[in-house]
Amino acid sequence: MKTDPPDLPADVYRIVFALLPSPCLLLAVDGRYSILDANDAYLRETVSDRADLIGRAVFDAFPDNPADQKSEATKTLGESLERVIRLRRTDAMALQRYDVPDRSSQTGAFLVRYWSPINIPLLNPDGSVAFIIHRVENVTDLVADVQRRGTAPSGQKDDRGTTHVESESELIRRSRQLSNSNQELRRLSEEAFALAARLKDESLRKDEFLAMLGHELRNPLAGLASAFQLIDMSDAAQGVPAEIGSLINRQIGTLTRLVDDLLDASRVSRGAIQLHREAIDLRMVIETAAYSVRRQFETKGHALIIDLAPGDYAMCGDATRLQQVVANLLSNAVKFTDCGGNIRMRLSASTAGEERRAVLTVEDNGRGIPQRYLESIFELFTQVNSKFDRAEGGLGIGLNLARRFVELHGGTLVARSEGVGKGSQFIVDIPLSFVEDERSLPLTEPFYVFADDDVSVLLVEDNDDVRAATAAMLESLGYTVETASDGNSGVDSMVAQTPMVAIVDIGLPGIDGFEVARRARDILGDKQPYLIALSGYSGPEVSERAIESGFDRVFVKPIDIRLLRVSITEAVGKRHPLKT
């Protein structure tokens, strides 16, 4: 099989290949390494004519010397060419003996030759190997010189004052040792790259699994939450002890936080977390976070002491993420402090030149942390003592998220402990950026009163259980509710019925919730209903995309019926005449 040489202008091809001073062959990547071309230097060194070589397989034109029973010349060259194709990079070979046919002889004799070869790939635009340049240097005279010097008595110096004790076999042996070492390094490098690629792939699959797991858990959780809220509002709850209702509500809240942590861990691992900075007061963030975990303190009888030193704590930061940091640190202290413990939270500010910083310390008198774990506890899914952690619950996510969120704000989070049984400290050191234009909170908008039974709601949700529970919950509030199970029927119902409010799940079959909102906006214009998105994914990315698509509000499953009712009441009141 004959393969044409590269499609280059004749003058360019002559410059880059034909006139190369080093002996070169141009080989096809066709399974037999057909010789496409040979420059003049190669023809001279191998005592060949162009007609002897062009179109022939390289190992047919240059077979092993049958007189040398130990020759592995073709095998070694073949392995090098295979590496070039597999790795798509240059492969330098060790000095080797590769005899060439004496084409001027009719006896089939071979000429002894020693070469220093290198094989260079020429790549296609897609990165695959198109051709291989086999470049050699004839070192036969050098080896002969070494052989000649090697016949001198051991230790004798030549006319240049150099001691020569090497023989031909020693030179080749050392060259092959070097080649073998290089091949071993290459092999180890390939294994390392393959392992890195496999680990990266496994990490990506883990992140995708976490995201999908969090999303899939939201649907059954949404159904449970809706069903419980419906029961809680109905007469059926009258015979149920109050503590049972509180227990169910707490456990639903715990599951919701775990799902949120899973999704946040996935986003952090993928670098998909974006901060939504605004003018905030760090003291308010801390107080809000402390209030959010108050029930955990009450359950275990802990005392929480908050010491906020006077100072300016204004900064530009993401209040939600910083509240998560503080809440996670406090929850961690609650978990690993025995009942009736003391937990102290201190905040102080300092200024050095133009740099303002805040230091927040969460300190407990709990179980403490062994020295060897002070850094590893911040790694994802890491727990100091699995026995304790299983008893206390948790996935080993909270501290990892806390550190990552602090680092995104340009700060640091470290742990300190004197050891087991001696309590622990978690210290946040964070810069306080100057806030030039602090935006005041908008004045509270007027609250409109609207009769619930005058409100028509369309619920578009593909999960049967969630749809049934949420519809029943909405009807219990007095709303007139219609349902749809997919995006296309949701759009049709919206156009036909023109409800006041449409609650649409984002993850719908057929067309998703984003497309439902876009079509409703395009078809109905100003007559479109107030659009509320339901999402199994939390985070600003989903919210921003939902608002861009035409939604007015975004709720993350499981939905809080009280907040939903407030949102519906305010929205309908703005769009319709005021009723009192």
The single-letter DSSP state of residue 536 is: S
pLDDT tens per residue, range 64-77: 999 988 888 999 99
CA dist., res. 226 & res. 219, Å (int): 11
Burial grade of 358 (CB within 10 A; 0-12, 13-18, 19 or more): buried
Q: Indicate whether 42 belongs to any domain.
A: yes
Q: What are phi and psi of 281, to 5 degrees?
A: -110, 120
CATH code, 513: 3.40.50.2300
Q: What's residue 389's pLDDT?
A: 44
* 35 plus 67 within the same structural domain: yes
Q: Which residue has the tokens 């007609």?
A: 51
The helix, strand and coil proportions of the chain, stated in percent and rounded to the nearest 5, come to 45, 20, 35
Examine residue 502 and state whether it is found in any structural domain, yes or no: yes
Residue 293 · residue 262 · CB < 8 Å = no
Compute CA 504 distance to the chain's CA centroid, rounded to the nearest angstrom.
30
* Mean pLDDT to the nearest integer, 139-160: 63
Kindly state the average pLDDT of the residues 318-341: 90
Output the six-digit token pair for 192. 């390392």
The answer to whether position 181 is within a domain reads: no
What is the percent of the chain with per-residue pLDDT over 90, rounded to a whole number? Answer: 32
More confident call, 145 vs 214: 145
In a domain, 263, yes or no: no
Using one digit for the tens of pLDDT, what is the confidence trace for 276-285?
A: 788 888 998 8
**Quick check: 124 pLDDT over 80?**
yes
DSSP-assigned letters across all residues of 44-87: HHTT--HHHHTTSBHHHHS---TT-TT--HHHHHHHHHHHHHHH
545 and 469 share a domain?
yes
State the pairing for strand pair 96-97/114-123: antiparallel
With vertex at residue 354, the alpha carbon angle to CA 349 and CA 355, rounded to the nearest 5 degrees, is: 45
Structural domain count, the chain? 3
CA distance 271 to 289: 25
CA distance 39 to 423: 78
Of the two residues 466 and 171, the one the predictor is more confident about is 466
B/e letters for 417-426, b = 16+ CB within 10 Å, e = fewer, are: beeeeebbbb
Dump the DSSP string for 328-373: HHHHHHHHTS-TT-EEEEEEEEEEETTEEEEEEEEEE-SS---GGG
Q: Give the list of residues 6+ apart from residue 257 with CB closer than 8 angstroms, or none.
A: none
Span 519-526, mean pLDDT?
A: 89
Condensed to tens digits (0 to 9), the pLDDT of residues 488-513 reads 999 999 999 889 999 999 888 889 99
Query: Over 60: is that where the pLDDT of 17 sits?
Result: yes
Asked whether residue 464 falls in the same domain as residue 392, the answer is no
pLDDT tens digit sequence for 286-324: 988 888 888 889 888 999 999 988 888 889 988 888 988
SS3 of 385-403: CHHHHHHHCCCCCHHHHHH
- Distance between CA 247 and CA 234 in Å, rounded? 18
Is residue 304 domain-shared with residue 413, that is, in the same domain? yes
Q: Which of 493, 507, 492, 479 is nearest to 567 (CA)?
A: 479
Q: pLDDT band at residue 182, thresholds of 50, 70 and 90?
A: low
Determine which of 58-72, 220-234, 348-362 has the lowest per-residue pLDDT on average.
Answer: 220-234
Show the domain range for 129.
10-166
Q: Which residue has the tokens 């034109």?
A: 61
Are residues 427 and 458 both part of a single domain? no
Higher-pLDDT residue of 419 and 156 is 419
Give pLDDT, residue 391.
Answer: 45
Count of Cβ atoms closer than 10 Å to residue 80 Cβ:
21
Name the average pLDDT for the chain: 79
- The per-residue pLDDT for 559 is 74
Tell me which of 442 and 11 has the higher pLDDT: 11
| pLDDT for the residue 112 | 92
Both 425 and 283 in one domain: the answer is yes
Asked whether residue 190 is assigned to any structural domain, the reply reads no
Does the pTM surpass 0.75? The reply is: no
Where is the domain boundary, 431, 463, 487? 431
Same domain, 41 and 146: yes
Domain-located, residue 387: yes
Give the pLDDT of residue 312.
85
CATH of the domain at 72: 3.30.450.20
C-alpha to C-alpha distances, 525 to 517, 519, 521, 529, 550, nearest whole angstrom? 11, 9, 5, 9, 10
Q: Say what the pLDDT of residue 5 is.
A: 55
Band the pLDDT of 578: cuts 50, 70, 90.
very low
User: Helix (H, G, I), strand (E, B), or coil: what is residue 96?
Assistant: strand
The C-alpha atoms of residue 405 and residue 273 are separated, in whole angstroms, by: 9
pLDDT the model gives residue 502: 93
CA distance linking residue 42 with residue 22, whole number of Å: 7
Instruction: Kindly provide the b/e burial profile for residues 286-325, where b requires at least 16 CB atoms within 10 angstroms of the residue's own CB.
Output: bbebbebbeebbeeeebebeeebeebebbbbbbbebbbbb
CATH code for the domain of 424? 3.30.565.10
Q: Does residue 152 carry a pLDDT above 50? A: no
Report the alpha-carbon distance of residue 381 to residue 391 in Å, rounded: 16
Domain termination site, one of 146, 166, 186: 166
Same domain, 458 and 427: no
pLDDT band at 445 (very low <50, low <70, confident <90, very high): very low
Between 186 and 135, name the one with better pLDDT. 135
Is it the case that residue 518 has pLDDT exceeding 80?
yes
Q: Are residues 146 and 21 in the same domain?
A: yes
* 83-120: burial string, b at 16+ Cβ within 10 Å, e else: bbeeeeeebebbbbbbbbbeeeeeeeebeebbbbbbbe
Query: What CA–CA distance (Å, rounded) separates 73 from 157?
Result: 33
Indicate the pairing of strand 24-28 with strand 35-38.
antiparallel
| Boundary (domain end) residue, out of 166, 200, 231 | 166
Looking at the structure, do residues 461 and 343 belong to the same domain, yes or no? no
Site of tokens 């006139």: 19
> Does residue 262 lie within any of the structural domains?
no
Q: Are residues 414 and 515 in the same domain?
A: no
The pLDDT, as a whole number, for residue 443 is 33
Residue 176 domain-assigned (yes or no): no
Asked if 370 and 467 sit in the same domain, the reply is no
Task: Provide the 3-class DSSP secondary structure of residue 31.
Answer: coil
